[in-house]
Structure 1
């Protein structure tokens, strides 16, 4: 009984440590004072001012569109790549997997400088397009790593069995393989979307004048003090992500129950 209590208490402390900063941010998004160290009363004015701030709204638009486009494109490319890698055998498969691990393990600053050097060498104008291409590229390995475990869980020779029953390779892919690995694809897309929104270093090195995302705007604000509207924006984004996670988990639970 004591051991069970200690395990639960330990788990509670871990989650408390993880979520106290987020709870603090949410609470101070309703603070009437600009100072983060004092509470002057409850207010919603920062939420109202948020939608009037053109700089933040412009950065939010760039952040969301780049995150959405990069996650969709990276998920399509990464899923196709994962299926191809899964079909490989021997040394080639190990080599490709090790190459895929490199961008994941590589420090972001090295990746960012490498992208910047490449774009300058190609004489590409730094801006929205270069940032989008960079986000797609660094998201692909994470999608591959999310999809591969689901492919390994598939029954052996499932594609051959479907083709023996008259299915074409594309039909077997659409109707058998994709539905089976869908949880891995959704997970990869969510990871790609989150990484894209969160990224600062690669975005900083691959953007041009007049094009910023939220991380760059917040970094520039940190020099002169964080605007409390950022707390409001962060609270809204946290709430949206939490709702999406609850919807996806609820849907997955229903799918598991239907299987049984």
Structure 2
């Protein structure tokens, strides 16, 4: 059986374990059902997720032209503190930016490879943490816009990492940390502008279980541009990574916009 289409990040459903779905235009795969089984991935071309043209992907599933012009990939996406919609100032498309930036955002602690701090829209809880491969996560504050979340994250970056060590995450090298206790010590570290949103007694701890049969001891990334045809036995899924028996890992998110054919063997 074969499945063909444009890669986009796997859709997820929180559970024990988390359920993963690879969704194409006319079909979808429940990836959990492929655990312990072999399949082949063949790279067939590109399709920009924004303009749908068959142009080489530059970054985040977009071709170069769309990446440089689309409001969906403005600098404030990666750097929330650069958000300006609350000031009625446009970056690329003020209507879009108001719609995304002027909604509740969560600043959180997550434990994936070490304790990290991050920002996500409230509507993306717990999806954001699943995509990062976090085993535990807890909100610090819920604020009304992306800018306030951004300045809070910047303040906390001086004390916590803001990126996941993906190799440690995939090898399940996760330290024992009490992130509830850590959260309770943060009031003096966050900006005064968000103190009113900080509830010392609130405890919304999320614990996440991933479908992994076996964690690798060493990992090697599959790059479809260099290795356009790969066959392996799926042993786990964590974050947006497929983990294969030979230690190969494939980050679906990195290859969004790539057209592939998947053949079940």
- TM-score tier, shorter chain, comes to under 0.3
- Greater helix content: 1
Instruction: Say which one has the larger Rg.
Output: 1
Q: TM-score, normalised by structure 2?
A: 0.22
- Larger strand proportion, structure 1 or 2? 2
TM norm structure 1: 0.22
